[in-house]
Amino acid sequence: MSWLTNFVRPKIRKLVQKTDVPENLWDKCPSCGQMIFHRELNQNQRVCPHCGHHMRIDVKTRLELLFDEGKYERAETPRVATDPLKFRDRKRYTERLKEAQAKTEEQDAIVVAFGTMAGAPAVVAAFNFDFMGGSMGMAVGEGLVAAANLAVERKAALVAVPASGGARMQEGILSLMQMPRTTIAVDQVKEAGLPFIVLLTDPTTGGVSASFAMLGDIQIAEPGAQIGFAGARVIEETIREKLPEGFQRAEYLLDHGIIDMVVPRKELREQMGRIISLLTKRDEAA
Amino acid sequence: MATYLEFEKPIAELDGKIAELKHVANGGDINIAEEVAKLQAKTEKLLKQTYAKLTPWQKTLVARHPERPHFCDYVAALVSDFVPLAGDRAFADDRAIIGGLGRFRGRPVLIMGHEKGNDTQSRVRHNFGMAKPEGYRKAIRLMELAERFGLPIVTLVDTPGAYPGVEAEARGQAEAIARSIETCLRVKVPLVSVIIGEGGSGGAIALAAGNYVIMLEHSVYSVISPEGCASILWRSAEQAKEAAEALRLTAEDLKQLGIIDEIVNEPLGGAHRSRADTATRLGEALEAALARFDGMDGDEIRRQRREKFLEMGRQGLNA
Ligand SMILES: [Zn+2]
């Protein structure tokens, strides 16, 4: 069997979100405070219908909305040695891993999938923020390397969708080494003449932002996403600078010339498909 | 006046006694001279014992020692005809990263690295070795210059990390670091990196994705500072010692884990106690490291570097 497992069209899943709202019927928008009917919010891709605030979404929902008709094949990501440093803080790293695996039903913080976006073939490497804050260790690095190889093999664009606080501290120096490793991976896609597109989602910070996630041929961000190198709290605490309004938000990065565009969630698939088609000189969709 | 670290108190006391005795000894008082020699032998023994088994946290303190030799000291000791080059051609010259052309044991090279400064004024001037985007962009420019003229690149890494500030973020700190890493990995000339003090996170790897990576014996290299790690994972910076242990940030650990290629031993009591000797030892190691790539063509040099990083961690670590 190939390492690409055939993936059946995802079933309509119940979105279970933590909420204070009684009986899960209503969600409260953290931005405008409006109460939103839970089903309405999910139908709207978890974007507030009142103010347009983009809430975080889980990785499966992300893949469904990026690929045409929500259909994709999922690629297995390579297995890596668990807990290479035998790391232990207040808890063992192996325990933290097990908890995250149980919670998310995933092996680690990245999912790699293949499909089309508005007709254009693409490999998506999407971070799972629910898995230890989307932190990047060896498994995530290997996932990106595998995604890059798959893109080259399939002559498809590579789309990286980070949602990560940065490095997986429990893997120490090995997590730092994922910065050069992932950089090599995406450069191999570029050298094959294929587009590398980054969709920055909330949040993208630390070692993830300072490596492959800032190296896209095209840099796209979701509205309001927090994107930056140093955490806002670190800046405030250590440098004692007051943070300007909207600091490190997608729109701030756009204003400062760091990204190409901010694209609302519901327009992502079309826009990214259009970009890939133009860059790869694909014929217009019939 | 020498600076002693907390764990060096017994050594400081002995040194103090020696200085006192020397001070009172006018001329050739044989008894005092004998006493001094005895104390000096004792100090040496104590230094040897202490430095032979430094804990990871103690190494962190040694790596940050204010008198530890910095970039400019090594350049002064090892490089002739040094021509410093400034600026990123877009915004400013960031003095947290210094670089230029020079001759190392007869061989023209491009050498650059973080400079922390050695007194209040120079520390501020060099921003304590914490670079901003313009620093990494200068580094990129210099690496590309070296590649154009086929000069090997030597980087000396010594930084607490990239500067965390509002302006640095506004000018694209993350992008600048990412591009610097990318440039390290792309150039078709040899890149030899040495962690000479503190290898702090993204700010360090931005200059350290080299074909061959060396660490000085008491330097440290880590994804996060022990204090930062402790405050996140232990919820208290007080646990920095435990975090330093857990992070495996010493040269010995990193060599064992296959992350670095070589350790250069420091003189007795650390680099700051014999700066000239340290520079000579580093010079020997650098010369041998650069010689490894003589006659290798550009594509091969790049391929070797890439494969090395891609393989890293794949076989697990020898933890
Ligand atoms: Zn709202």
Q: How far is A188 from chain B (nearest CA, A)?
A: 10
The minimal CB distance from A85 to the residues B184, B314, B319 is found for B319
**B179 closest CA partner among B215, B213, B131:** B131
Domain ends where: A55, A73, A103?
A55
Q: Same domain for A45 and A169? A: no
Name which residue leads in pLDDT, A49 or B319. Answer: A49
User: At a CB cut-off of 8 Å and minimum separation 6, what does B34 contact?
Assistant: none
Question: Both ends of chain B: CA-CA distance in Å?
Answer: 40
Query: Is the minimum CB–CB distance between A140 and chain B shorter than 8 Å?
Result: no
Number of domains in chain A: 2
Q: State the residue for tokens 């360090």.
A: B204
Please report residues of A whose CB lies closer than 8 A to that of B166: 235, 239, 241, 243-244, 247
Please report residues of A whose CB lies closer than 8 A to that of B223: 167, 169, 171-173, 175-176, 207
The DSSP output letter for B54 is -
Residue A237 is predicted with a pLDDT of: 80
How many CA atoms lie less than 13 Å away from B104 in the CB half-sphere?
27
- CATH number reported for the structural domain that contains residue A249 in this entry: 3.90.226.10
SS3 at position A47: strand
Query: Is the minimum CB–CB distance between A245 and chain B shorter than 8 Å?
Result: no
Q: Same domain for A116 and A255? A: yes
Q: State the residue for tokens 């990047």.
A: A136
Strands (E), chain B: 79-84, 97-104, 107-114, 153-159, 191-200, 212-216, 220-222, 262-264
The DSSP output letter for A88 is B
Domain ends where: A55, A76, A103?
A55
Tell me whether residue A148 is in a domain.
yes
Tell me whether residue A200 is in a domain.
yes
Q: Same domain for A51 and A184? A: no
Query: Is the minimum CB–CB distance between A145 and chain B shorter than 8 Å?
Result: yes
**Beta pairing partners, B107:** B104
Structural domain that includes position A49: 16-55
Q: Same domain for A85 and A44? A: no
Q: Same domain for A92 and A36? A: no
Tell me whether residue A2 is in a domain.
no
* Token code pair at residue B4: 């002693």
> What is the distance in A from the centroid of ligand 1 to the CA of A37?
12
ipTM: 0.96
Tell me whether residue A212 is in a domain.
yes
Tell me whether residue A11 is in a domain.
no
Q: Do B173 and A228 touch (CB under 8 A)?
A: yes
Residue B26 is predicted with a pLDDT of: 67
Q: Do A172 and B222 touch (CB under 8 A)?
A: yes
Tell me whether residue A140 is in a domain.
yes
pLDDT at A14 over 60: no
Q: Same domain for A32 and A148? A: no
Q: How far is CA A243 from CA A119, A204, A249, B16, B134, in A?
A: 42, 18, 12, 48, 21
Dihedral over Cα of B59, B292, B205, B309: its sign: negative
Q: How far is CA B80 from CA B11, B83, B125, B148, in A?
A: 36, 9, 24, 21
The DSSP output letter for A83 is -
Per-residue confidence band for A4, with pLDDT thresholds at 50, 70 and 90: very low
Name which residue leads in pLDDT, A191 or B316. Answer: A191
**B223 closest CA partner among A207, A208, A142, A144:** A207
Q: Same domain for A140 and A21? A: no
- Contact in structure between A226 and A26 (CB atoms under 8 Å): no
Residue A15 is predicted with a pLDDT of: 45
CA A89 distance to own-chain centroid:
27
Residue A133 is predicted with a pLDDT of: 97
Residue A242 is predicted with a pLDDT of: 79
Mark which residues 15-54 of A lie under 8 Å from B by CB. none
* Token code pair at residue A43: 């139908």
Name which residue leads in pLDDT, B182 or B30. Answer: B182
Spatial separation of the C-alpha atoms in residues B277 and B300, rounded to whole Å: 34
What's the whole-number mean pLDDT along residues B8-22?
92
Q: Same domain for A155 and A108? A: yes
- pLDDT more than 70, % of chain B: 97
Tell me whether residue A41 is in a domain.
yes
Spatial separation of the C-alpha atoms in residues A286 and B304, rounded to whole Å: 45
User: At a CB cut-off of 8 Å and minimum separation 6, what does B43 contact?
Assistant: B11, B14, B15, B18
Q: Same domain for A118 and A70? A: yes
pLDDT in tens, A235-279: 888 777 779 989 999 999 999 999 999 999 999 999 999 999 999
The DSSP output letter for A35 is E
Spatial separation of the C-alpha atoms in residues B215 and B197, rounded to whole Å: 8
Scanning chain A, the segments in alpha helix (DSSP H) are: 38-43, 59-66, 93-104, 138-154, 172-176, 178-191, 206-209, 232-234, 250-255, 268-279
Q: Do B181 and A175 touch (CB under 8 A)?
A: no
Q: Do A81 and B223 touch (CB under 8 A)?
A: no
Tell me whether residue A1 is in a domain.
no
pLDDT in tens, B200-211: 999 999 999 999
Phi-psi region of A62 (alpha: psi -120 to 50; beta: other; left: phi over 0): alpha
If residue A167 lies in a helix (H) or strand (E), which one and from where to where?
none
pLDDT at B30 over 90: no
Please report residues of B whose CB lies closer than 8 A to that of A207: 201-202, 223
Q: Same domain for A73 and A38? A: no
Global confidence as pTM: 0.94
Q: Same domain for A114 and A248? A: yes
Q: Same domain for A69 and A98? A: yes
pLDDT at A18 over 70: no
